[in-house]
Chain A
Amino acid sequence: MELMTRRQALRAFVVLSAAFVCTPAMSRETLQALMSDLMDAEPAVADWLILTAPEEADNPSAVKVRVQVVPPKELGIFCEEVLLVLEKNPRPAACRFTFSSMTEPDFTTNLRFAEGQEVMALARMSDGSVVTAKAPVKLTVGGCGL
């Protein structure tokens, strides 16, 4: 798929997503499809895509993951959306967030890990490029007992 066509397709997706609130059936596979699309773009690892997750997590039901997208100013690009992926989970595409000119590209959310694995972030930038970063999370037993 050409870059232009893919970007148009993704833009169309963004416009339609508002309607997904009312048509939940469609949204179930869109995120998983978006993941495939973003990975097809052969994302480059960028050290300015900062993915923070605990190296060891004692509560697999809620692991805090933070994404910050801070491209160097010279690139003149900004982040349009970020997708978080847990490849070993039954449904790997976990969540996707979009920003506006008012929001910083810096968010944190809690994910549930089916097993210890790397969490991956895919960030689609304003020039159509997709960058990626990974952070490993090991699961340890813990919490309130033991």
Chain B
Amino acid sequence: MHAHQQDQTIGGRTVINRRNFIAASAAAGTIAALTTPALAAPSAITANTVLRQRGSKPRIVIAGGGWGGLTAARYLRESAPDAEIIVLERNPVFWSCPMSNKWLVDIVPTDFIMHDLYKPAKKYGYEIIQTEVTAIERDAKRVRTSHGTLDYDYLIIAGGIRNAYDAWFGDDEEAISFTRKNFPSAYIPSAEHLSLKQKVQNFEGGTLVMTLPPPPHRCPPSPYERACIIAHHFKTKKIPAKILILDPKPRVMPINGGFTMAFEELYPDIIEHVPNAGVKELDPFNKRISTAAGDFDFDDAILMPPHQACDMVWYAALIAHKPEVGPGGWADIDPLMLHAKSDDSVYVIGDCMGAISPQFGHYPKSAHVANFMGRIVATYIGQRIAEKEVTPLLPDNLCYMMVNGEPKEAISVLFEYELTGEGVVHQTQIDIDVRTEDQYEEDFRWINRTFKDFLV
């Protein structure tokens, strides 16, 4: 006989002990309707807890519910109608980094970039579970999460990037934590965007330093767009501020012409761009940065550390440590088929992808590319499940960057890809340097169209 157990309070919620519930129900006379307990009390998650039991259908697990992951889920619903599709996402809402620079200064409202994750899941008929992936055991074809394990036939890792603070601070957790809290980067959907918005809007004057991540990084033109939008805010509100861009690169790039013209013509007294200024040492406590181009003190800063593939690619042991092209820290994938070179059950899409071509390195780490990759990989997996031949598909990329707030003008950059005779992917980049109002409007048309594509 078990001793009578009290109801427990776990994490602020009262967890009703099953026996007490049954006892109470019996007392209330409702027990007759229950043949098995309707409410199973959550117990501790163990190594054996299964998040979702396997059925007989092919199962596709998508680790990451962002631009790439949700697009893949939506299109897999069409390309693999018999498959079970489960998206794992650690955030409770969808937060768009595209357009978030505009949101920092209230050009767009919060409900423009924050979306319900469950609506598209319901609309397109896939499962989405809010949980954190803690391990990926590829030999067992199993994903471990904070709520249990999930076996897969195909896994798509679409988790974006991680902030490589270790490149600056090693394992100094105090410095990392202090920097995260006080000088957030706001490059990953999280509360950092809220913090950065407050910082920008409360900035009363002085030098705001921006340390740019070295390439390849998420959305290459975005730090310059962020500088332009913040400079526009300072200009409009007549805040005596300077923005010092510490750029590890030798010049503004990409879209050197468009951004340089904007800096010089619109914000000559606000923005200063310092090239070849890779961070050597950073003291967030004393607000001092030592770079290859000199030392700088700051009043406030947006400290953006180097980017790498999200943690999940590391868990899956799919990181290219010494790749032929570009730096290590990104997923080692087949450039055309998009699955891991060493494991064709695991696909990697979006920003965490590694080098694609010796001619250009990485695809631009943009939402446009992630969305395109979601569609491509859905086609590939659908073809494989149907045992059809998989024909390689290539993306394109088109990004708009707002550079002026009055009038509202944007520039853009277009990328096209084609396969050479030798099977190498070749990139053609076209910078649209001329800032115009219609490009600003096209940006909204693009995002609204794309939101309709995979969100509701």
User: Which residues in A have some Cβ–Cβ distance to B below 8 Å?
Assistant: 54, 56, 58-59, 61-62, 64, 141-146
Contact = CB atoms under 8 A, between A and B. Distances in A.
Given A145-B363, A146-B215, A62 B429 contact: yes
A25 B359 CA distance: 35
29 contacts: A54-B251, A59-B254, A61-B428, A61-B429, A61-B430, A62-B429, A62-B431, A141-B361, A142-B253, A143-B253, A143-B427, A144-B360, A144-B363, A144-B397, A144-B413, A144-B415, A145-B216, A145-B326, A145-B355, A145-B356, A145-B362, A145-B363, A145-B364, A145-B427, A146-B215, A146-B216, A146-B326, A146-B361, A146-B362
Interface of B: 215-216, 220, 249-251, 253-254, 256-257, 325-326, 355-356, 359-364, 397, 413, 415, 427-431, 433
B363 to A, nearest CB: 7
B362 A144 contact: yes
The majority secondary structure among interface residues of chain B is loop
B188 to A, nearest CB: 19
A52 B212 CA distance: 28
Contacts of B360: 141, 143-146
Given A59-B254, A61-B429, A61-B430, A144 B326 contact: no
A96 to B, nearest CB: 22
B325 A59 contact: no
Given A145-B355, A145-B360, A145-B364, A59 B429 contact: yes
A61 B430 CA distance: 7
Contacts of B253: 58, 142-143
B430 A145 contact: no
Contacts, number: 59
Contacts of A141: 359-361
Contacts of B220: 144
A61 B257 CA distance: 14
A141 B249 CA distance: 12
A62 B430 contact: yes
Nearest to A62: B431
A121 B137 CA distance: 62
Contacts of B249: 142
Interface centre among A54, A62, A143 (most CB of B within 10 A): A143
A138 B286 CA distance: 41
Nearest to B221: A144
A143 B254 contact: yes
A56 B251 CA distance: 10
Nearest to B360: A145
Nearest to B216: A145
Nearest to A146: B361
A146 B356 CA distance: 10
A143 B426 CA distance: 13
Nearest to B362: A145
Contact of A146 (B256, B257, B325): B325
Q: Which 10 A-B pairs have the closest CB atoms?
A: A146-B361, A145-B361, A145-B362, A144-B364, A144-B220, A145-B360, A146-B326, A143-B429, A59-B429, A145-B216
Contacts of A56: 250-251
B218 to A, nearest CB: 11
A66 to B, nearest CB: 11
A54 B250 CA distance: 12
Contacts of A143: 253-254, 360, 427, 429
B257 A64 contact: yes
A89 B359 CA distance: 20
A62 B432 CA distance: 10
A144 B254 contact: yes
